[in-house]
Structures are given as C-alpha cells and as structure tokens.
Structure 1
C-alpha cells in the first residue's frame, strides 16, 4: 500500500487565514541513547510555495535519498535551520525542555533572516511553546544581535511529517544533520557503532555500553543497558 506524499494543503489554508510565512518543525533523536535531540525548521511562503517532489517524512526515505534532497529543500525554503540540544543538556533539564531548547535555537537562526507567523509542529505534544503559554516568545542572541520576543502561533498536528510538506522537509534536514553528527562522533568512539545505529537503542549499542561504559555523548540519566 503506497503512502500519499505530503502536500501544501494545510499550509495553503493557513495562507488563506493570513499566515503568509509558515514554518514546518520536526524533531529527531528523541528516543536515542546517545547524541543530541535535533529540531529542523523550514520557513516557506505558504501562498506561493510550489510542491517539492520526492520529499517525505525522513523515516520513509533511504539515507542517500535524504542526503540528495537537502540542496533542493534548502533552495526551496525561504529560511531553514537545525538546532540541537546535547546529551548533557537533556540530562540537566529533561527531554521536553531540551526539545524546546533545540527548537528555539533553530528558530533563532531563521529569525536572523525572517520571522514566521505560524509554526506547524509535528505530533500531539507542544514542547516548543513556553509551558502554560499558547504562543512561542523568545529572546535570544544570534551573532550578538538581540532578537525581540515576537509572538508566533504554534499548533501541533499529528503525523504532520507525513501530510505537511514544510514539516516533512524539516524532518529531512534534521535527520541528515543529526546523522552526520553521529557518524562524525563514531570515528572517535567506534565501539558504539554510531555510524550504523545513530545512537539509538539497538541490542549491539546497549551491549557496547555495558562493556565499555557510557561517554559524554550518552544520556546518562536514561536507562542505557
């Protein structure tokens, strides 16, 4: 059974409601034992963006296909970024706050170019907004320039990475960048097989942690073995 590719249907609906600049947002690495959580953001003009053939939820694409799509996605988007929160940060503040930290870092990068008015967030948990606050406000520094706290509407959408093209594109960027980080770390720590498992909880990865102990890239607050 074939899965229908993501479209711009909902982004077009948002444009009709007055949200011209729409950001798709998705995370990768939530369930890994090692490495960062990474959040991709892709901003488009929801009224004028064209469809982008071949882009799907990153989990449905083979690694070479994902990598080949990155230049097209970066050219298609008005702005794009991937933010990360490292393992030590996950241990310090918890997973939800770390996802918010990574997402805020990505949004800060795109805000250096433009500010989306609406963020489509994959899933059913709004980990991006400040708790008990329906809008995302942030004041962070990018290249020593203070960004004012500009409100954005954040709305979750279940399986947005499979139905909304902007979110699917964000998932590809986040997956490719995080995978590259884990492959780079694997050269220094070959015993964990990160070039293959990307830090996720495979049996071989757990066995390697039991044999060699965790390192600074592992989430030590998690059950690792």
Structure 2
C-alpha cells in the first residue's frame, strides 16, 4: 500500500489551540560518523496553504526530487531555516546537546519566534534539560525557547515536518559534498558521512579526519588511553 500523503491536519489542529505560528522541525545527520548534525525548521500558520505537491519525508525521496522540492518549500513556508552543529561540537557536548544547538540556531534564523515547535520523534532534544549533561550545555542557546511537542513519525504525517526534513537533508548533503572536496577519500559526496562500506574501508585505511566525530566508536579506530585517536592495529 502506498504511503499516505502527509498533510497540514496535525499542524492546523495545534494552531487552533491558540498558537499563531508553528515551527515544524526535523533533523539530519544524527547517526553519521562525520560531518554536522543538522536541524531544519518550517513555520506555518492557519493561513498557510497546502504544501507543494510531492512533499514527503526526505528519506522517501531521491536526491534529485529533494533538490527540486527544496526551493518550492522555501517559497511556500511562512518562514524557514536550517541550523548545524559541527562534528567538533558533537564531540565536545554530545549528540543531543549538539542537536539542541543546531535547532536553536535554526530557530534564531527564522526571523520570527514560533509560538510552538512540533518535533519529529518521541524525545524533546530542543528544550534544555533540568540538569545539564556531564559534558555541559553548549553556549549560544536561546534564552527563552518556545514550548515543544513531540510526535512519532511526524515526518510521515505532517507536511510541514516533511518539508523541514527536505531542507535539513538538502543543506546537509550540500555541506558534505563540499567537505568531500576538502577531505577526499571517504566518499562523502555519496555516503554523506554515514557508515557505508566505502566510508568504513577508508577509515580503516586512512584513519579519521578533523570532520569525523572522534568521540564516537569509529569502525577501525581505537582511542588510546591518553584520549588521542589512533588507527586500530591489524590483527
């Protein structure tokens, strides 16, 4: 059975609770071994019309289709932005605080403070925790972020969240293509930093570069006792 086309039904129901602006958010690059963690946001209001034809969760679209849809999404949305947290920031703060930083950077770029954020998934990584993580909270977070609602599979059900996923994915993919030029040999122009066979083979051969998440258990790489990263010795 074909997947149900996402709509604005959920977004409009939330807006009718009394919110004037709703930012729908999705992330890209959470599980990658290298490159940034990225959060895209799309703002809608009760006046926002039907999403452009073809908008779906970015994972269901080809790269070419995403590229064609991205400018249509930007024209359609009441506001939009994408934020990134670097691999170094993922290493310094951890993946969830890094996603929080990327999300706050996206919110800061919207040009409007949303009254509510709808976040894909079941975990609110945008709201600072009551107790900061052992690694500490990254600087630059918004002082008064809006409230957040989470929704599992929002990118499949809500057109604005699907649109946010398209913006996050296309912008991060473009960054990874540029990083592939700066750090050739890892196949990032194709695998976008994820654990594809060619990427794993390159890690074992060349070791990590500065754009890898060195705090992670990178395949073929071990962290010596002094904390430095080294290639795993062949057995």
Per the normalisation by structure 1, the TM-score is 0.90
What is the total number of aligned residue pairs between the two structures?
211
Find 2:123's aligned residue among 121, 125, 128. Answer: 125
CA deviations over 1:181-210 (Å, ceiling 9, x no partner): 001111122210001100000122111011
SS in 1 for 2:81: strand
Is 1:189 matched with 2:183? Answer: yes
CA deviations over 1:38-85 (Å, ceiling 9, x no partner): 00011111x111111210000000001000111111111111111000
2:5 matched residue in structure 1: 5
Kept after mapping to 2: 8 A contact 1:14/1:20: no
Per the normalisation by structure 2, the TM-score is 0.86
CA deviations over 1:144-201 (Å, ceiling 9, x no partner): xxx7x44512011000011011111100000000000001111122210001100000
RCO comparison, higher one (Cα < 8 Å, 6+): 1
Higher helix share: 1
Q: 1:208 to 1:59 in 2, by over 3 A?
A: same
- Partners of 1:114 and 1:31 lie apart in 2 by 30
Structure 1 residue 140: deviation in Å? 5.1
1:63 matched residue in structure 2: 63
Describe how 1:1-225 pairs up with structure 2 within 5 A. 1-45=1-45, 47-52=46-51, 53-110=53-110, 113-132=111-130, 149-225=143-219
SS in 2 for 1:155: strand
Q: Which consecutive aligned stretches of 4+ in structure 1 deviate over 6 angstroms post-superposition?
A: none
Q: 1:213 to 1:140 in 2, by over 3 A?
A: closer
Alignment RMSD (CA, Å): 1.6
Kept after mapping to 1: 8 A contact 2:127/2:145: no
SS in 1 for 2:97: helix
Kept after mapping to 1: 8 A contact 2:25/2:161: yes
Structure 1 residue 132: deviation in Å? 3.0
Q: Find the structure with the greater CA-based Rg.
A: 2
Kept after mapping to 1: 8 A contact 2:57/2:166: yes
